[in-house]
Amino acid sequence: LFAGDWQFVTAAPTVEVLPPMVGMEIALAGRSNVGKSSLVNALTGRKALARTSVTPGRTQELIFFRVGPELSLVDMPGYGFAKAPKEKVEAWTHTIKAYLRGRVNLARVFVLIDSRHGIKPVDEEILDLLDKAAVSYAIILTKSDQVKPTALPHVIAGVLEKIKRRPAAYPVVFPTSSQTGAGFPELRAAVARLLHE
Ligand code: GTP
Ligand code: MG
């Protein structure tokens, strides 16, 4: 699956221009700069499939990537603070929420959380939306290389504590580093299982 040929499908600025539904979709949600686009590249093994930047607000549309007829990955703009005009941020935040609530073939959302910061109020808002819409999601911790290995279990425990009563949350957390590749074998296995559920 991940050795396959990943293709860019389309960039959708609004939900009016989403691509046709083919197979299942997995969407990546998270605060601006958390590492969503880097995760697309690390997961697919393609260095520059998705565009990344040190500046929050790099991805401004829903970016669809597909491998074969079964699976698409959707890189999304971030929520929260971004270096972009307020109207633009409001518009893409609206698009993210409308897509997350209303996409029939959205099989799973990965909500990315920075290992250094944990779950913030702005993340809770998105988790509330997903719980309300009954869209199942799992938490991925990003940038695990930025915290001490001994601190990581505490970060994971803190996240698990915060999601344990959330109805649409899988009670697992995937610690990852797009920099070192840590956690990606586990994440790829989880995606493969999801496809064959
Ligand atoms: P927006 O599109 O702006 O919402 O950001 P994004 O969530 O797509 O983040 P992006 O992948 O562009 O990464 C943001 C910054 O974090 C870049 O400078 C990346 O190099 C860095 N980064 C991403 N993943 C990791 C990681 O695992 N470890 C470290 N150390 N840095 C990372
Ligand atoms: Mg991005």
pLDDT in tens, 61-80: 999 999 999 999 999 999 99
Q: How far apart, in Å, are the Cα atoms of 92 and each of 67, 85, 86, 95, 166?
A: 25, 11, 10, 5, 25
Check pLDDT > 80 for residue 56: yes
Q: What is the pLDDT of residue 3?
A: 78
Ligand 2 center–CA 47 separation, angstroms? 14
Does any domain span residue 1?
Answer: no
Q: What is the mean pLDDT of residues 72-97?
A: 96
- Express each pLDDT in 139-162 by its tens digit: 999 999 999 999 999 999 999 999
Dist. CA 49–CA 72, nearest whole Å: 13
Q: What percent of the chain has pLDDT over 90?
A: 96
Contact (Cβ atoms closer than 8 angstroms) between residue 171 and residue 160: yes
Ligand 2 centre to CA of 189 (Å) is 23
Q: 75 alpha carbon to ligand 2 midpoint, in Å?
A: 7
**40 in contact with ligand 1, CB cutoff 6 A:** no
Q: What is the CATH number of the domain that holds 143?
A: 3.40.50.300
In a domain, 158, yes or no: yes
State how many domains the chain has: 1
Give pLDDT, residue 186: 97
Return the pLDDT at 137. Answer: 98
Specify the pLDDT at position 166.
Answer: 98
Q: What is the mean pLDDT of residues 173-186?
A: 98
* Cα dihedral sign, 84-80-24-37: positive
Domain that holds residue 62: 6-195
Confidence band for 197, pLDDT divided at 50, 70 and 90? confident
Has residue 18 got a pLDDT over 80?
Answer: yes
Ligand nearest the Cα of residue 63 is 2
Query: CA 64, CA 26: separation in Å to the nearest integer?
Result: 10
- 83 contact partners, CB below 8 Å, separation of at least 6: 55, 56, 57
Q: Does the residue 159 lie in any domain? A: yes
**What is the DSSP code (8-state) at residue 49?**
S
Q: Using a 6 Å cutoff on CB, does residue 32 contact ligand 1? A: yes
| Rounded alpha-carbon distances, angstroms, from residue 62 to 8, 9, 28, 82 | 11, 10, 10, 16
Percentage of the chain exceeding pLDDT 70: 100
- Whether residue 1 has pLDDT greater than 80: no
